[in-house]
């Protein structure tokens, strides 16, 4: 039995699709099973929350592999970024050890370090340490920016373009990314499950290196639009987005913690080699986000 967390998310949806197609026994730890769509009748469901450790301890019964994809790039009412990504992973690893789980698969981000400028990648670094130090067989997948054609970033951008004649960007947009399609990441997760090595570590990056600015341009073009980018100095963007989050709480379209992710590079000098070592040839972002004809 595989315990999948984050099954309703960008990567989790694609991983679940593949696990169901392969007729593997899956239990999904979810906050709301409706997010599983049609798959909710094909899997076991464990209701749970990263901020509620007893809920995932119960979900571990009879599980051989945990694929831990659940995460949050913003604070939630029940837990901070540090709690949901760092401490929750520590608790999940401990619960897996106690339950006799064999392998723990963890999806982290390229560049995660205890000194990283973003709270998420600092928390991910601690989580990686916990996974690595555990007595389980472990797989750590370290991904660059993950995307899909209709992901949340694309939906937020689409709304912003309706409202604004220019495109505000955080700083000059020079950080570098190797965007990797969620479907390719899911293939890499599945491929890693079939490997026997007790300790695995793989980098998941797409075939091209793009600056944040190029990445946003590409997304804008894919929506069939054109906009002049207007760099907003980081302290101004931070103050504005933090004020909006204080006002709108979880309804804020983009939190500062999320926007800040575009200011720090997530790239590897080895490019797509990690994906190819898992037998996956990652698609180019420009091909996946089939561009529409420019409108305005
Ligand atoms: N997206 C990227 O660019 C990127 C890059 C590198 C690494 N990663 C990592 O890859 C993994 C998957 O990312 P993703 O883009 O698929 O994330 P996502 O689309 O934001 O999905 C997050 C998942 O986590 C679940 N979740 C959030 N808070 C939870 C909580 N308190 N309790 C239980 N479940 C909770 C969500 O469930 P609900 O449906 O209940 O909200 C959803 O299924 C994450 O670990 C992420 O950090 C992502």
Cα 56 from Cα 71, distance rounded (Å): 14
Share of the chain above pLDDT 70, in %: 98
The larger pLDDT score, comparing residue 43 to residue 171, is at 43
| Ranges 176-180, 268-272, 290-294: which has the least confidence | 290-294
Query: Which residue's alpha carbon is nearest to atom 43 within ligand 1?
Result: 6
Cα 138 from Cα 125, distance rounded (Å): 15
Which residues is 202 bridged to in the sheet? 141
Q: Quick one: average pLDDT of 194-209?
A: 96
**Widest CA span in the chain:** 57
Cα 112 from Cα 181, distance rounded (Å): 20
pLDDT at 295 over 80: no
Confidence at 290, pLDDT banded by 50, 70, 90: confident
Q: How confident is the model at residue 131, as a pLDDT?
A: 98
Give 99-143 pLDDT, tens digit per residue. Answer: 999 999 999 999 999 999 999 999 999 999 999 999 999 999 999
pLDDT at 293 over 60: no
Closest to 55 measured CA to CA, from 34, 78, 75, 21: 78
Query: Which residue's alpha carbon is nearest to atom 35 within ligand 1?
Result: 70
- Report the sign of the C-alpha dihedral through residues 231, 232, 233, 235, in that order: negative
Confidence at 57, pLDDT banded by 50, 70, 90: confident
Query: What domains can be seen in the chain, in order of their start residue?
Result: 2-148+179-207+266-283 (3.40.50.720)
Query: Which residue's alpha carbon is nearest to atom 13 within ligand 1?
Result: 11
Query: Ligand 1 centroid vs 230 CA: distance in angstroms?
Result: 29
Give, as one character, the DSSP assignment of residue 291: P
Stated pTM of the model:
0.96
CB atoms within 10 A of CB 5: 26
């Amino acid at each position: 039995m595989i315990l999948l967390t984050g099954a309703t998310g960008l990567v989790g949806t694609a991983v679940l699709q593949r696990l169901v197609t392969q007729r593997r026994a899956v239990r999904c730890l979810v906050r709301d099973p409706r997010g599983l769509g049609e798959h909710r009748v094909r899997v076991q469901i464990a209701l749970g929350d990263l901020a509620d450790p007893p809920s995932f301890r119960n979900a571990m019964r009879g599980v051989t592999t945990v694929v831990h994809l659940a995460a949050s790039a913003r604070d939630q009412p029940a837990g901070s970024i540090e709690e949901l990504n760092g401490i929750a992973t520590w608790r999940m690893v401990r619960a897996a050890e106690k339950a006799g789980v064999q392998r723990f698969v963890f999806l982290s981000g390229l560049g995660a370090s205890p000194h990283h400028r973003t709270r998420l990648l600092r928390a991910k670094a601690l989580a990686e340490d916990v996974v690595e130090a555990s007595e389980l067989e472990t797989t750590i997948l370290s991904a660059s920016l993950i995307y899909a054609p209709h992901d949340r970033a694309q939906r937020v951008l689409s709304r912003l373009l309706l409202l604004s004649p220019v495109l505000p960007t955080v700083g000059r947009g020079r950080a570098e990314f190797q965007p990797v399609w969620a479907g390719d990441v899911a293939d890499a997760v599945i491929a890693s499950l079939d490997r026997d090595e007790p300790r695995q570590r793989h980098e998941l990056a797409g075939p091209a290196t793009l600056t944040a600015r190029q990445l946003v341009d590409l997304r804008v073009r894919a929506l069939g639009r054109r906009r002049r980018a207007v760099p907003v100095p980081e302290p101004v963007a931070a103050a504005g987005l933090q004020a909006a989050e204080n006002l709108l709480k979880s309804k804020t379209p983009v939190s500062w913690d999320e926007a800040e992710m575009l200011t720090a590079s997530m790239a590897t000098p080895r490019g797509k080699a990690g994906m190819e070592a898992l037998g996956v040839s990652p698609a180019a972002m420009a091909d996946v986000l089939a561009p529409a004809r420019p409108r305005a």
